[in-house]
């Protein structure tokens, strides 16, 4: 068996290693157009930010180490420029010239290329992407002595690069065409991260694109669509990636908008050809949308499963649909998500409900307690969890990982009540944030709670009495204009005031995070009011409003 | 509806709060024999250790705050001393004398009492338990100016108390009758925690009990069964708890060894009487054993579900079987567990397999990477996950929470491969430790890997060639006597040496953590050897051997 693998970073190298462990006798050749294989692409921004100082640390494996441990024939700087599926050969270009390599089985793991927006001046030497170790080394060099940097694109890598450059002392501006940073996140979560970036001193421009780079002798200038001109000693492009599949599509590999289509064992439409990783398409488990998922985790795990199928391992496990679990550190915050977000659910026309909550990550009486902003989307009819997002200083990754596991298990939101999670004051709460999400969600499903949402604010202001159940001091610190303030502890004695103020209108209750207003809501609901409680309270409202908050929330 | 609740800490107060949210009109009375309700019992050790300095912080709620927010009638220092189920009354003793309180519905949440071993001298004023805020305040006072402390019982609370007293500068000795500390943990995990406690300066005595306390004028002396005499200025008893149910059992509530038996909605055998929390029995989901589970999380969650059933909420969710998820901080380590341990599986006669692994909690090239010792038990025939344990400096709680979710979802170990968990260098790995556990477990299930275990060492030493695949330097630093050293990178070229040394015997491979020996094992297996790889490698072996390690592992 001669196995040729195109691409030796995540999915490709994972398949190669598994292939060797399954078959000592196979000839395994890994071809990669880059200088390095099996390198830590997710670590590149931290190298720029000097959290990782040794570039050698980014080289997880080398051709030599892979030869020694796994008897792999790894050939960097070998680009595959042709495929003849009928002849079972690939055409390989390297310093030694061009030759054909035959295969019995072929795994395509070519990855994706950075998208370079076709702007005037984009070819300036001060413009770089951040995809390779060489990119990272070059950016670090360019940053020395530089003053201003512009990052085009506010996705995960863009923000990590921005923070790394800021750590090196540069003035950094992030420019994002979408109306928010981190487009996969729901807007309120993105607003929280944006505020943290701004706290670090990073300028954030959303809803506006770059139109031109004007190269200069001393420095370049980035021009935005609104006319803003930003000087830049270096410019990082991170506006997305595109599957690097042109050669293979031309050779007859079936693709969808450039992403290789496979079955759930990674088999392509051509015999003896498998594909894995950023170059492949995956079906969104919630919305059914077919799109590439450019994430290291799914690629690494799928690589192993492709090798299982290729070597005919009995009952080889199918490659699971990636849930798109992703996480990013931004300053002192962590933002993470899994599954579908609000936009994709709305676009798919799915009937869903959303809860927002702000529990502490561990016991409130234990030092270091901090709130997690947690959002969970679930199907309105049966409670199936569809997606979740969280932002906070600590414990975010744990909760999203638990929710990712629950989604994989097809749990309903109420099932989260029953999760038996670690509790001791330094680690959690007797009712963990995930348990609380289950309780809130189940309350919504069985109508123990009626919710209103931050996005309803304008309509609610028109039609309803807003009842703020926080203390008088909290109310004075900032409240929705026109709201009535009755602390939840006084509500039972002052319910006549609510009747008078509501004058037949619905009552829409709120507090800081949604706990006290929930209690008040239950009092009002049982007293016959048309009542609902604001999901996530003022914290969620402020996150939703973002910069608009100061004009809607009044003091005094 | 008049609802009376006996016990106002975890399960009882959780039921009371939910009851009020479900029914504004109910009269809800909470009777508690203690001075405080709804206090942070899990926080008491941290108060002693001065991580929590304000005793007020331990009082999460007060009767006043519960009256104001939830209109609850909370009566501390009201002990229930009788139950007349036919008459629907309880007899209550308080400073105001004894009276009967009628009820329409009754929830028993009396909790558990500390077991006091019947030793001579145990009544000394220097002996305390740690169950209440007053206990914690008293212990802290006693610790001031004290020099030596003895903690009897090395369970979770015992160890937390020991560490807290050590933080206050006392010489602390922990005495445990069982052959290991933290009896719910598997022995190798307990050994790791014991080593950490000893590193902190805490003396640990296992496999020996106290026989007597000799009260003295200046200080007491604790006498152990082996004759050891330990001077003590204070003595903490934490040898376990016993359901506080004598009154109710005498009144006809069905119990099993003192623990109240309920159905899965918390209903007891008597009409209109529910029970919840540490006083109740639960059925172990793996072994079927019926025993009380004295944990705050399950009690809090069950309290809510009892109220749902009591108020006839449609389709009230049954109380889940607690998985016994537990966690403890010990020095710089965290130890956590979920589900069944080795002992309970062996006692139940279940055919299971075990994997041990030592993955980094996050990318190895990112600063602060540290290993997690992770053990997973699964059913041998179908891979159903039965239990998991972990010890490490960071990321332990997350992995046990994910595994607790997987166990609740009845996943098989191979399903862990497919979990789509957060990955970015500061948080995890492209193959998370939990994914790796899935891969290792699946390899065992489908015989891609044959394992041997640390407990097999004596037999393996007699019958097999031990092949150590670490580097020569690592081998010289400590290895099993008689082992042959061939680094895994040289194995393919030196396989004849293995043939010669094995002389027909099985080959049992090992390395540091099990990764390299797995590769070597695959080489040997495919070359026709009877081969197996040591689960968890030298790290697991050392943890298994504990203090015995130095006599079995030789240098040079």
pLDDT by 10s per residue, chain A, length 556? 999 999 999 999 999 999 999 999 999 999 999 999 888 889 999 999 999 998 888 888 899 999 999 999 999 999 999 999 999 999 999 999 999 999 999 999 999 999 999 999 999 999 999 999 999 999 999 999 999 999 999 999 999 999 999 999 999 999 999 999 999 999 999 999 999 999 999 999 999 999 999 999 999 999 999 999 999 999 999 999 999 999 999 999 999 999 999 999 999 999 999 999 999 999 988 888 888 889 999 999 999 999 999 998 777 899 999 999 999 999 999 999 999 999 999 999 999 999 999 999 999 999 999 999 999 999 999 999 999 999 999 999 999 999 999 999 999 999 999 999 999 999 999 999 999 999 999 999 999 999 999 999 999 999 999 999 999 999 999 999 999 999 999 999 999 999 999 999 999 999 999 999 999 999 999 999 999 999 999 999 999 999 888 889 999 8
d(CA B452, CA B251): 54
d(CA A426, CA B97): 41
d(CA B454, CA A67): 30
pLDDT for position A316: 85
Q: Which residues contact B449 (CB under 8 A, 6 or more apart)?
A: B440, B443, B518, B521, B522, B533
**ipTM more than 0.85?**
yes
Nearest to B109 by CA among B31, B3, B28: B31
B366:A397 CB<8 A:
no
Contacts of B417 in chain A (CB under 8 A): 301, 304-305, 317
The residue in chain B having the minimum alpha-carbon distance to the alpha carbon of residue A321 is: B418
B535 to each of B407, B439, B441, how far by Cα in Å?
Answer: 22, 13, 11
A430:B300 CB<8 A:
yes
Contacts of B439 in chain A (CB under 8 A): 304
CB B178 within 8 A of CB B190: no
A297:B516 CB<8 A:
no
The tokens of B285 are what?
């989901």
CATH ID of B2-112+242-310, from 3.10.50.40, 3.50.50.60, 3.40.50.300, 3.40.50.12280:
3.50.50.60
Contacts of B491 in chain A (CB under 8 A): none
CB B63 within 8 A of CB B74: yes
CB B129 within 8 A of CB B116: yes
Q: Which residues contact B96 (CB under 8 A, 6 or more apart)?
A: none
Q: Which fold has domain B332-445?
A: FAD/NAD(P)-binding domain (3.50.50)
pLDDT for position B551: 86
A300:B431 CB<8 A:
yes
| CB-closest option in B69, B314, B398 to A398 | B398
| CB-closest option in B400, B408, B519 to A21 | B519
CATH superfamily of B127-239: FAD/NAD(P)-binding domain (3.50.50.60)
d(CA A182, CA A550): 23
Contacts of B323 in chain A (CB under 8 A): 420
Distance from B226 to chain A by nearest Cα, in Å?
34
CB B160 within 8 A of CB B151: no
A365:B58 CB<8 A:
yes
The tokens of A242 are what?
């595109």
Give ∠ CA B282-B287-B292 in degrees, rounded to 5.
Answer: 25
Contacts of B315 in chain A (CB under 8 A): 446
- Pairing mode, strands A553-554 and A479-480: antiparallel
DSSP three-state, residue B369? coil
Alpha helices in A132-236 (DSSP H): 133-143, 156-167, 187-200
A540 to each of A178, A440, A513, how far by Cα in Å?
Answer: 21, 15, 7
* Best mutation target, B365, B395, B414, B526, to test chain A (most A CBs within 10 A): B365
Ordered by start, the domain boundaries in chain B are 2-112+242-310, 127-239, 332-445, 451-554
Those residues of chain B that have pLDDT short of 70 are none
Distance from A464 to chain B by nearest Cα, in Å?
23
A2-113+242-310 against A451-554: fold identical: no
Which residues of B are annotated as catalytic? 42
B349 to each of A39, B287, B291, B379, B380, how far by Cα in Å?
Answer: 46, 9, 18, 11, 12
B448:A21 CB<8 A:
yes
B327:A423 CB<8 A:
yes
CATH superfamily of A451-554: Rhodanese-like domain (3.40.250.10)
The residue in chain A having the minimum alpha-carbon distance to the alpha carbon of residue B303 is: A431
B21:A519 CB<8 A:
yes
Contacts of B296 in chain A (CB under 8 A): 423, 430
pLDDT for position A56: 86
pLDDT for position A128: 96
Q: What is the CATH number of domain A127-155+177-237?
A: 3.50.50.60
B319 to each of B300, B308, B316, B536, how far by Cα in Å?
Answer: 11, 10, 9, 36
- The reply to whether CATH 3.30.420.300 applies to domain A2-113+242-310 is no
Type and span of the H or E element at A475:
helix A472-476
d(CA B510, CA A223): 60
CB B465 within 8 A of CB B484: yes
CB B270 within 8 A of CB B101: no
Instruction: Please report the number of interchain residue pairs, chain A to chain B, with beta-carbon separation below 8 angstroms.
Output: 258
The tokens of A175 are what?
């420019």
| CB-closest option in A68, A326, A435 to B489 | A68
Query: pLDDT tens digits for A90-112?
Result: 999 999 999 999 999 999 999 99
d(CA A304, CA A319): 9
What is the sign of the dihedral through the CA atoms of B468, B473, B474 and B479?
positive
Our CA dihedral for A425, A434, A189, A407, rounded to 10 degrees, sits at 140
DSSP three-state, residue B341? coil
């Amino acid at each position: 068996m001669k196995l040729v693998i195109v691409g030796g970073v995540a999915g490709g190298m994972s398949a190669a290693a598994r292939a060797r462990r399954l078959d000592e006798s196979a000839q395994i050749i890994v071809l990669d157009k880059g200088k390095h294989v099996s390198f830590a692409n997710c670590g590149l921004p931290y190298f720029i930010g000097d959290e990782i100082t040794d570039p050698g640390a980014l080289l997880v494996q080398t051709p030599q180490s892979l030869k020694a441990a796994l008897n792999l024939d790894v050939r960097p700087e070998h680009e595959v420029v042709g495929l003849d599926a009928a002849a079972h050969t690939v055409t390989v270009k390297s310093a030694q010239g061009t030759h054909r390599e035959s295969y019995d089985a072929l795994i395509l793991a070519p990855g994706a290329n950075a998208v370079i927006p076709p702007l005037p001046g984009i070819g300036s030497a001060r413009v770089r992407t951040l995809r390779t170790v060489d990119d990272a080394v070059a950016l670090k060099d360019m940053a020395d002595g530089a003053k201003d940097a512009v990052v085009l694109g506010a996705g995960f890598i863009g923000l990590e690069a921005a923070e790394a450059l800021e750590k090196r002392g540069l003035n950094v501006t992030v420019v994002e065409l979408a109306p928010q940073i981190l487009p996969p996140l729901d807007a309120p979560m993105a607003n929280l991260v944006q505020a943290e970036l701004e706290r670090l001193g990073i300028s954030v421009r959303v809803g506006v694109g770059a139109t031109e780079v004007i190269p200069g002798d001393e420095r370049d200038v980035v021009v935005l669509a609104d006319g803003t001109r930003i000087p830049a000693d270096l410019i990082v492009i991170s506006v997305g990636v595109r599957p690097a599949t042109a050669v293979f599509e031309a050779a007859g590999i079936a693709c969808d908008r450039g992403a290789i289509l496979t079955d759930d064992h990674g088999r392509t439409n051509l015999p003896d050809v498998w594909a894995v990783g950023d170059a492949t398409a995956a079906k969104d488990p919630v919305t059914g949308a077919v799109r590439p998922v450019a994430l290291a985790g799914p690629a690494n795990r799928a690589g192993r499963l492709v090798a299982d199928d290729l070597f005919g391992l009995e009952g080889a496990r199918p490659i699971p649909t990636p849930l798109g679990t992703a996480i990013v550190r931004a300053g002192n915050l962590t933002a993470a998500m899994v599954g579908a977000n609000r936009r994709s659910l709305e676009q798919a026309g799915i009937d869903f409900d959303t809860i927002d909550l702000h529990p502490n990550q561990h016991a409130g009486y234990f030092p270091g307690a901090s709130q997690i902003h947690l959002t969970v989307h679930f199907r309105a009819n049966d409670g199936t969890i569809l997606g979740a997002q969280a932002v906070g200083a600590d414990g975010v990754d744990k909760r999203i990982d638990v929710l990712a596991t629950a989604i994989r298990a097809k749990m309903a939101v109420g099932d989260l009540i029953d999760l038996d999670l670690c509790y001791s004051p330094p680690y959690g709460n007797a009712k963990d944030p995930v348990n609380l999400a289950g309780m809130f969600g189940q309350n919504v499903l069985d109508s123990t709670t009626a919710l209103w949402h931050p996005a309803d604010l304008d309509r609610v202001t028109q039609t309803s009495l807003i009842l703020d159940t926080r203390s008088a001091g909290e109310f004075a610190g900032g409240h929705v204009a026109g709201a009535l303030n009755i602390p939840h502890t006084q509500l039972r004695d002052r319910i006549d005031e609510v009747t008078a103020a509501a004058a037949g209108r619905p009552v829409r209750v709120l507090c800081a995070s949604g706990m006290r207003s929930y209690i008040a809501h239950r009092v009002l609901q049982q007293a016959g009011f048309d009542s609902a409680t604001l999901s996530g309270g003022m914290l969620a409202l402020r996150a939703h409003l973002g910069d608009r908050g100061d004009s809607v929330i009044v003091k005094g």
